[in-house]
Amino acid sequence: MVNVPIHLGAVKANHHVPPLFAIPQISLGVWLIPAGLILILFLLFWHNLVNHPRVSTVIFLAISISLFSLIGISVAMIDGYKEVEGKHLPALIEPYTRLSLEYYGDVPLLNKVGLSYFLRNYAKTDIFLELSGHSQTHPPGGVIFLWVFSKIFGYNLISTSLISILFTSTVIIPIYLLAKTLYGKEVGRLSIILFLIMPNFVIFTSTSMDGPFSVFPILSTYLFFKSVSSTKKVLAICIGLCLSLGMLMTYSTVFIGLYFTIFAVLSFVFDRQQFHHVIKTLSISLISFVAFYGLLFLFTDFNPFEAVWASIKKDEAGMGTGYETIGRYLSLSTANLLAFLIGVGAPLTISWLYGTLKSIRGTWDLFPSSYLVTLVIMAFSTLYTMEVERIWIFMAPFIVIPAAKYLHQRNNLADLHCVTSLTVLQLLLFEAMLYTYW
């Protein structure tokens, strides 16, 4: 048993495995076999997928999206079947059965009152008090997302889980394009290989809504760097729209806005010519963002400020502010950082850190250096009271792309095999030995 004097929000030291929001639970059943086989085959053939001359970009992305789904589903099923209210349900869908906690439980409410009423009264007592725990600490986009697809595929656990996985799998495209735009095709492909086995993304994307929440923040990041080398204003408008949709699903999208701001500041210091273009892009994006929420308010009376304030007060009521004492502030902030990097995986964290430090000592590559600054600010912001190994999975490209660039520059196949093998090992150990709730 571990005892700590500081309250870490959701993480209980006498129950969980600090700093992770997880409890020890051994799952060494028959469902470990398919996950193990899929990952072993991945380790044997990923190099061919990256380097084979007949594997075009389209084929590479199609295979990668398929692998994403296979790996995610098989790893989620390592826990086998769970008993829920007398029924044996696959571990893949078990988290969605917690109707008092999950967005899935609010779909009938939205269906009953209608979209306009739901948005207009989202932060008011007649709706807010009826929402599930997670919906109360998030904007309405998660419930709306599930509601829209329930209209197409029906309101059931299987379709909800599969739609979440398939929608999340589309992040492979902007991650690849972002890496390719920054560092070339080889780094782009290698980034996807590392992403496919990134422990926290694999573990949580198949069983939680944080996977779908990551799509628009990641897409906006790609569009931002695409716009840096382009004069097309439409890209800047699309950035604003992506950020708007991202913010409608998760308040964590604010991280991307902060990252863009830090990038602009560092551009002013190190690349004044780029700075002027970045400011122009961000100005157009801001106008697009404001216009989106202005129109949303005009047509539905949805007040985003009222909604975010209600969520803040709800979260503080359960988790505290995070800055009650200096001791709690420092412990919580440090634990946030450690939890995320542990979730990312030790091999990827080390590769990312080496790659970032190398870029800072060299030409001050603003992509990883801006992220490092933003990550530290966010970890010590008190905006999060743990669980960030899951909540922050949208940061995946900021980890895997610098790691892929660093490993590519080393030009050592043994290093690549070592990193991928150890990352897969950590992924399997985490899922087989810890119960992460999602």
Token readout for 315 is: 């979260």
Domain containing residue 37: 23-435
For residue 392, the SS3 value is helix
Q: Encode pLDDT of 78-131 as tens digits.
A: 999 988 888 888 999 999 999 999 999 999 999 999 999 999 999 999 999 999
DSSP for 339-369, please give it. HHHHHH-HHHHHHHHHHHHHHHHTT--HHHH
- Residues near 127 by beta carbon (within 8 Å), at least 6 away in sequence: 109, 113, 117, 118, 121
Number of domains the chain contains: 1
Examine residue 396 and state whether it is found in any structural domain, yes or no. Answer: yes
Q: What are phi and psi of 83, to 5 degrees?
A: -90, 120
What pLDDT band is residue 15 in, cutting at 50, 70 and 90? confident
**One-letter amino acid for residue 171 of the chain:** V
> Alpha helix locations (H) across 53-140?
57-76, 107-113, 115-120, 125-128, 133-136
**pLDDT for the residue 1:** 35
Q: Encode pLDDT of 131-166 as tens digits.
A: 999 999 999 999 999 999 999 999 999 999 999 999
Examine residue 16 and state whether it is found in any structural domain, yes or no. Answer: no
Helical (H) or strand (E) element with 80: none
Examine residue 17 and state whether it is found in any structural domain, yes or no. Answer: no
CA–CA distance from 9 to each of 15, 180, 217, 399 (Å)? Answer: 13, 39, 26, 26
The closest of 46, 74, 34, 45 to 165, measured between CA atoms, is: 74
Other beta carbons within 10 Å of 363: 9
For residue 412, the SS3 value is coil
Examine residue 369 and state whether it is found in any structural domain, yes or no. Answer: yes
Cα separation, 354 vs 364, whole angstroms? 14
How many residues are present in the chain?
Answer: 438
- Residues near 166 by beta carbon (within 8 Å), at least 6 away in sequence: 69
Examine residue 12 and state whether it is found in any structural domain, yes or no. Answer: no
Cα separation, 376 vs 393, whole angstroms? 16
What pLDDT band is residue 382 in, cutting at 50, 70 and 90? confident
How much is the pTM? 0.95
Examine residue 358 and state whether it is found in any structural domain, yes or no. Answer: yes
Cα separation, 340 vs 394, whole angstroms? 11
Examine residue 312 and state whether it is found in any structural domain, yes or no. Answer: yes
Beta bridge partners of 84: 87
Token readout for 297 is: 């308010």
Examine residue 64 and state whether it is found in any structural domain, yes or no. Answer: yes
Mean pLDDT computed over every residue of the chain: 93
Other beta carbons within 10 Å of 273: 8
Cα separation, 304 vs 183, whole angstroms? 37
Give CA 47 to chain center in angstroms. Answer: 26
For residue 24, the SS3 value is strand
